[in-house]
Amino acid sequence: MAPPLSWLILGLTALNPTARVEAAELTSLVNLFIGTASGANGGSGGNAFPGAQAGYIHDNSSITGISLMHDEGTGGNTNGGYGIFPLFPLTNCNFTSCPVGISARAALRKAGADAAQPGYFTTTFTNNIKIETTSTRRAGLIRFTYPNAGPNHVVIDLTNDLQRSFEGGALSVTSAGRVKLGGTFLQSYGPANYTVFGCYDFQPPETVQAQPIATFGTYQSTSLSSPSTLNITVNSTDLNFPWTSNSVSREQAGALISFNSQTVLARFGVSFHSSDQACANAEAEVPDWNWDTVQNASANAWEDVLSRVTVDTTVEDATVVELLYSSLYRASLVPANLTDENPYWDSPYPFYDAFFCSWDTFRTVHPLLSILDPIEWGGIVSAYVDGWRQTGFIPECRSNTKPGYVQGGSDGMIPLGDFAVKYGSRAAELGVPSDDLYQALVDTAENTPPDWYTVGRQNTAWKEFGYIPTDWVDPSGSTGLPTREASRAWEYALGDFAVRQAAISLQKSPGDVAKYANRSMNFVNMWDPSVTSDGFSGFAQRRYPNGTFAFSPPNACSPVDPVGHSIVMEYSFFAPHSMSTLVGLMGGPEKFVSRVDHYFAVPYFLAGNEPGFLVPWAYHYANRPDLTALRVRNVIYKNFNTGIGGIPGNDDSGAMASLLTFHLLGLYPVAASKQLLIGSPLLSAFTLRNNFFGTSTSFTVTGFDKLSLTATPPSGSRVFVKSITINGQPSPSLCWINFDDVVGGGKIEIEMFGDAAAAAAAGCGPGAGALPDSLETGGFAP
């Protein structure tokens, strides 16, 4: 879904002045500062960034550099990943005494100086130095405008990434203004390190800008015992710090260049192969240093992404429109396309970074891609499959190009199953060999890796017991993080459902279909009906090898998750492929509804935690879509807004952004299936464009009521779905819609009304297939 600039975006450029869709250029509707507020312990509340740098926080904290790469909205590390090779402008100092150190150079930004749109970021320091940034996929431009003519200086920092995790590297600088860098740094979420390279050029053609170099050199710490004491050496051209295993260096080092110019323009390139390749990337993607060319290409790419969802901005609620396009933007940043930059193996297939993590993104990020951008999604799925070719397992969490920690199940299985269901018959056209995709699913479902904390699953236990036992040692010697046994089992079950779905769609053996269907129901083996809490009986629980249960208080936090919500309560609602099973286990529809109500009333619900994404929609499975309509609005207006704190927790690689996009459209995807739950949109009309089929599907909401756009819609407001017609034919369900209709290029009309009692009585409709599918009751039939 991301445009070609997806994996750099240190600053995105200004807008093409040509007017675009529905009276407004869509990029002008994006608020890049949503989710950039400071969170706990100084971390970013949403870990979102406005296109400037990873680690951005919208407050009065100091800034120490403009870095070249970032992750989006991650939860594994509040600093985010990357932040490599930052530049920093200095003025009013003598070359050999300039404050080049990370703390010494820190500067404050002017109040109100930060500004951004997709395609542009700028800020101004309190010393009146202005920064502007723009980028392509692997290169870009940075411009510093100083308050005086010079000499002015630029620090090129070798050692300080966002985590201060430098383990070794080298730098060279020439009198012609070319700086080459390479460094090894730690992953932000995982056990490994990674190596990356950069290239800066500071001598643009004179037809672009004259900025003569006055002085150049290098700086480094005088000793590691006193790393903040630095020595600047004029005309020094090289630095080299050998890599040392398992040792983060305290070294501060880099280059310093002085210019007799009030404006300094830098071109940069990044590569995971070599610094020479980084320079080649810069030369290829920014050959003439033309700022307008780069920024207009960036703006046009983002306009194309955003125009896959179109609304009449002159009619719709302005806040809803801002939330929609801001969310669509953030949902389109990662996974990041690093094709041609795979440093680990030669392959004709795409290479993507920032599967960070599949646990976060399978619920909403991948389904949104499936609707709007299957071309990009095909590349991402192909990269997942290629990861299996190299390791024998589907990647779960790829962080900084290396395997990260597995959060739960091997949840990369679910997007592959989803792809097989939706595009399996045309997989080859999207660059995905379907036989390889299926074998990747089977191998990940059947085999156990030596360490299932970084890839794969604890399948030895899963297949032997039908659950994940507590306090059990695998006789094969396979190890991992021996926690989260119940939640992992419920995710393993969904992964097996994904294999079952792929087996059907790709016409594999009936035996495979039956085996993985049966295994996908094993989540019930970790349900203890005897546990009672808050007046309700039956909860997900851990279980010992002898079959007895290991009690975890349902109303307490997980011991490995100190956030104030209940993991047991949350996962007790998590079986997207067979929600009717949970309705039955909890005592039937009325009891289920009461329990969902209680979950929100306490509240146990945490809007920023992915396993709870489905719960506001769970009423659908108890035949009460009217309650979903009210609950989803409550969740939106209590947890999301257009302010800097407008995300309920980390954006998690676009998971929150894509969730909100679905909420606003009145849709929620059912994992690894063609069903989408349908509810009450917050828009009167919208169109969804699919870039593979070339279709545009229009949704019209008749009787749309702006009075319903609040956390608690007033009585009588038209918030309930009365009828749905698809291409002129009545829908048999008021609760779900088929993916093929959503991307089919037709017309879908949703009629609203305000009679709460009638809506409750109508439920999902009278037909046998009106309720959303559940595997236990024969749903998702072959």
For the stretch 636-681, pLDDT in tens is 999 999 999 999 988 889 999 999 999 999 999 999 999 999 999 9
Let me know: does 184 contact 166? Beta carbons within 8 Å. Answer: yes
For the stretch 412-463, pLDDT in tens is 999 999 999 999 999 999 999 999 999 999 999 999 999 999 999 999 999 9
CA distance 126 to 138: 31
Amino acid at 53: Q
DSSP per position, 472-541 = ---TT--B-----HHHHHHHHHHHHHHHHHHHHHTT--HHHHHHHHHHHTGGGGGEEEEEEETTEEEEE-
Mean of per-residue pLDDT scores for the chain:
92
Amino acid at 577: H
For the stretch 728-738, pLDDT in tens is 999 999 999 99
pLDDT confidence tier of residue 39, bands split at 50, 70 and 90: low
- 562 DSSP 8-state letter: -
Q: What is the pLDDT of residue 244?
A: 82
Element containing residue 155 per DSSP (H, E): strand 152-157
Amino acid at 688: L
Q: What is the pLDDT of residue 51?
A: 63
Q: Taking the CB of residue 509, how many other CB atoms lie within 10 A of it? A: 9
Name which of 516, 658, 515, 525 is nearest 577 in CA terms: 516
690 pLDDT more than 60: yes
CA distance 165 to 193: 9
Burial 407-430 (b: 16+ CB within 10 A, else e): bbbbbbbbbbbbbbbbbbeebeeb
pTM passes above 0.75:
yes
For the stretch 590-622, pLDDT in tens is 999 999 999 999 989 999 999 999 999 999 999
234 pLDDT more than 80: yes
344 pLDDT more than 50: yes
62 pLDDT more than 90: no
Let me know: does 104 contact 160? Beta carbons within 8 Å. Answer: no
Q: What is the pLDDT of residue 76?
A: 55
Mean pLDDT of 473-493: 94
CA distance 721 to 765: 11
Amino acid at 263: T
For the stretch 7-28, pLDDT in tens is 343 432 222 222 233 445 999 9
CA distance 258 to 97: 12
* Burial (CB count within 10 angstroms: exposed 0-12, middle 13-18, buried 19+), residue 176: exposed
100 pLDDT more than 90: yes
Mean pLDDT of 357-383: 97
551 pLDDT more than 70: yes
Q: What is the pLDDT of residue 55?
A: 57
Q: What is the pLDDT of residue 80?
A: 59
Share above pLDDT 90 across residues of the chain, in percent, rounded to a whole number: 83
Element containing residue 130 per DSSP (H, E): strand 130-135
